[in-house]
A and B are shown apart, each in its own frame.
Chain A
Amino acid sequence: MDKRDLVLDVKNLVVRYETEDGIVKAVNGLNLQIERGKAIGLVGETGAGKTTTALSLLRLIPKPPGVEECDHMFLDGLDMLSLSVKELEKVRGKDISMIFQDPMTALNPVLTVGDQIAESIFLHEDVSYAEARKRAIEMLEVVGIPGERANEYPHQFSGGMKQRVVIAIALACHPKLLIADEPTTALDVTIQAQVLDLMKNLRKHYKTSLIMITHDLGIVAEICDEVAVMYSGNIVERGTLEDVFNKTKHPYTEGLFNSLPNINDRKAMLTPIKGLMPDPTNIPVGCPFHPRCPYMGEDCKQPQWERAISDTHFVRCSAYDRTGFRIEREER
């Protein structure tokens, strides 16, 4: 029995899209647990299955072509798999909400930002519209926008301001779990710093658990407590920041770090991962990373499972069954 206070508990999630061109295996047996108040970074490259995982948690996978299988999915004890469409509408935006990558398209251009924030409060809480509107203005101020701008439309705001509005909508009903899908990718670096700072403070203030989807390990180091590295639809390594950044175990995680320019050592040569991410319609047998892996052995072609390195650190790599196996980056 897991004694931890889990906000999210997902076991063996599989999502595939059955298309005319073949079956796209987007998520392949993913397990994910998040403790209350914690922030986990879901890291990976394009096509790793990060966004599909997020959409599945919100029960928003389009079917068809999507097909989902899952052993269980609990949001703070609530069985998400058993909910009807009507019941889900009550949960989304209230208990679980999402910040999308592109603030330019996430907002409705014909509604004022005040109305867009108020809508979420009005739908989920037993308040009058006037009261919801009042709280919307408070939320705007919380995210650093003067309340009097509530009557303006999205096009009157800059990119960073729009993302603040999206954050205000997402947090308006104090969700238990917030999923942020690349929330700062479309923003400039000084604006990104402002938005990350805001998210950090709000998360503390509202004690919201967070899934931060990103390709940027720097952002993870900035804002998260834990990291899960995704590759080809599965988590290949997860642990605390300290575990994954300083005691890296998985060869793919190592490859990601080696691909990044080191800001403190500009002479260091980059060591890219050879080859490409596998085609999700044709994932290699065994470990999906083995064709690109410098430590590849015969064991890698067998089905993989997760090994515990410590109480907090897990790696999905059969090389650790070999005696004395270690990757180069380990124990930096």
Chain B
Amino acid sequence: MTDNILEVRNLTKHFKTKRGMLHAVDGVDFTIQRGQTLGLVGESGCGKTTVGRTILRLIEPTAGDIIFEGENITKINQKKLKNVRKDMQLIFQDPYSSLDPRKTVSQIISEPIIANKILKTKEEIHARVAELMSTVGLAARLFNTYPHELDGGRRQRIGIARALAMEPKFIVCDEPVSALDVSIQAQILNLLKELQAEFHLSYIFITHDLSVVNHFSDEIAVMYLGKIVEKAPAEELFAHPLHPYTQALLSAIPVPDLRDKRERILIKGEITSPINPPQECRFKKRCNYAHDKCDEHPDLVEVTPGHLVACHLVNK
């Protein structure tokens, strides 16, 4: 019996633009088991951030179902949603712009506690903030400092403390380390892993950095132009990438190891427009193996247990 914390079915988000319908997310399905991490990888514009925000209903989905803890939250009203959101939190990419510059560290962290009326007295709130700060490794002396006085790593820790304030079960981490230097990035990644073990958290980890996602995730979904093109356990995906896009993506990672001489698969061109995409395979224009059959969009099919691919080459 699997214990799914989140199930997403046929999640779709289209934005109306002047030039036509922008298909940001187009029929995405996945489940996340409790205590596990799903890595969502892809390049700019593939829809990974939209997926994260739609799940939290910060953006309303065009179609599809979001089932959180067995409850379909796609249509529930704002009042009920507020309750559910205590269990679902978001950590933002940019620790420089996601914190209110006029609030102190303690005010930022206590904001969700006060807004949701979790604790009443000043003393209780103060104690809880101090506890959260120590959980994420922020020194107590920073209690009354402002974000601009702190470096990127510490700011990201504030964002994490704020997300933890509601004791969530599930966190969407949207590029949480992309803006940080490598030595600080490692500190934050370790912190997120420790917190996951301690509080039994489930994560969606959105990133464009493949070596980070490999390190961090149990399962990885690769997105391209609003669709999942391949999904597999992390180890399996890196050992046996099947989709031509995944193969190119993995081969393009610059590896800081002289013994790792991987063969580059260069793909031509750049990501095509998500506005009114044609009914063919979305990757067709850049694919080195494109053939007639690719005019038809391939379905995401399980090829080996747990390993799903959307490609006519593989799904013969």
Contact surface of A with B, Cβ cutoff 8 Å? 45-46, 158, 160-161, 188-194, 196-197, 215-222, 241-242, 245-246, 255-264, 266, 268-273, 276-277
A189 touches B208 (CB 8 A): yes
Smallest beta-carbon distance B43→chain A, Å: 4
Q: Which chain A positions have C-beta within 8 A of B43?
A: 188-191
In the bound complex, how far is the Cα of B255 from the Cα of A196, in angstroms? 13
In the bound complex, how far is the Cα of B215 from the Cα of A190, in angstroms? 20
Q: Which chain B positions have C-beta within 8 A of A217?
A: 256
A221 touches B183 (CB 8 A): no
Q: Which chain B positions have C-beta within 8 A of A46?
A: 181
- Closest residue of chain B to A255 (Cβ to Cβ) is B183
List 26 A-B residue pairs with CB atoms under 8 Å apart, sorted by A's residue number: A45-B182, A160-B270, A188-B270, A189-B208, A190-B248, A191-B270, A193-B264, A215-B181, A216-B254, A221-B255, A221-B257, A246-B258, A255-B183, A257-B256, A258-B186, A259-B182, A259-B186, A262-B257, A263-B210, A263-B255, A266-B235, A269-B190, A270-B190, A271-B186, A272-B183, A272-B184
Which A-B residue pairs are the 5 nearest by beta carbons? A218-B254, A261-B215, A217-B256, A272-B186, A193-B252
Q: A193-B266, A277-B181 are in contact. List 8 more A-B contacts (CB 8 A).
A: A189-B253, A196-B254, A218-B256, A259-B182, A261-B214, A261-B216, A262-B215, A272-B184
The interface size bin for chain B is 35 or more
Question: Which of A190, A219, A272 has a CB less than 8 Å from the CB of B254?
Answer: A219
A190 touches B252 (CB 8 A): yes
In the bound complex, how far is the Cα of B256 from the Cα of A193, in angstroms? 15
B190 touches A218 (CB 8 A): no
- Closest residue of chain B to A269 (Cβ to Cβ) is B190
Q: Is B189 an interface residue (CB 8 A)?
A: yes
Q: Is B249 an interface residue (CB 8 A)?
A: yes
A contacts with B: majority SS: helix
Smallest beta-carbon distance B20→chain A, Å: 19
A272 touches B187 (CB 8 A): yes
Known A188-B208, A190-B248, A272-B187; judge A158-B270 contact (CB<8 A): yes
B253 touches A218 (CB 8 A): yes
In residues 172-192 of chain B, which contact A (Cβ within 8 Å)? 181-187, 189-190
Q: Which chain B positions have C-beta within 8 A of A215?
A: 181-182
Smallest beta-carbon distance B62→chain A, Å: 25
Smallest beta-carbon distance B218→chain A, Å: 10
In the bound complex, how far is the Cα of B252 from the Cα of A158, in angstroms? 19
In the bound complex, how far is the Cα of B211 from the Cα of A235, in angstroms? 27
A194 touches B186 (CB 8 A): no
Q: Is B260 an interface residue (CB 8 A)?
A: yes
Q: Is B302 an interface residue (CB 8 A)?
A: no
In residues 148-205 of chain B, which contact A (Cβ within 8 Å)? 151, 153, 181-187, 189-190
Smallest beta-carbon distance B125→chain A, Å: 29
Q: Is B212 an interface residue (CB 8 A)?
A: yes
In the bound complex, how far is the Cα of B183 from the Cα of A242, in angstroms? 22
Q: Which chain A positions have C-beta within 8 A of B6?
A: none
In the bound complex, how far is the Cα of B215 from the Cα of A272, in angstroms? 14
Q: Which chain A positions have C-beta within 8 A of B249?
A: 189-190
In the bound complex, how far is the Cα of B190 from the Cα of A2, in angstroms? 47
- Closest residue of chain A to B188 (Cβ to Cβ) is A272
Smallest beta-carbon distance A160→chain B, Å: 6
Q: Is B238 an interface residue (CB 8 A)?
A: yes
In the bound complex, how far is the Cα of B186 from the Cα of A271, in angstroms? 7
B211 touches A192 (CB 8 A): no
Q: Is B44 an interface residue (CB 8 A)?
A: yes
Known A45-B181, A263-B255; judge A197-B44 contact (CB<8 A): no
Smallest beta-carbon distance B235→chain A, Å: 7
Q: Is B234 an interface residue (CB 8 A)?
A: yes
Q: Is B275 an interface residue (CB 8 A)?
A: no
B252 touches A245 (CB 8 A): no
Q: Which chain B positions have C-beta within 8 A of A160?
A: 270
Most buried by A among B189, B234, B235, B270: B270
Q: Is B267 an interface residue (CB 8 A)?
A: yes
In the bound complex, how far is the Cα of B259 from the Cα of A221, in angstroms? 10
In the bound complex, how far is the Cα of B252 from the Cα of A218, in angstroms? 10
Q: Which chain B positions have C-beta within 8 A of A242?
A: 258
Q: Which chain A positions have C-beta within 8 A of B254?
A: 192, 196, 216, 218-219, 221-222
Question: Which of B44, B183, B214, B257 has a CB less than 8 Å from the CB of A188?
Answer: B44
Q: Which chain A positions have C-beta within 8 A of B183?
A: 45, 255-256, 259, 272-273
Question: Which of A221, A261, A271 has a CB less than 8 Å from the CB of B258?
Answer: A221
In the bound complex, how far is the Cα of B255 from the Cα of A221, in angstroms? 7
- Closest residue of chain B to A270 (Cβ to Cβ) is B186
Q: Which chain A positions have C-beta within 8 A of B267?
A: 190
Smallest beta-carbon distance B258→chain A, Å: 5
Q: Is B271 an interface residue (CB 8 A)?
A: yes
B212 touches A194 (CB 8 A): no
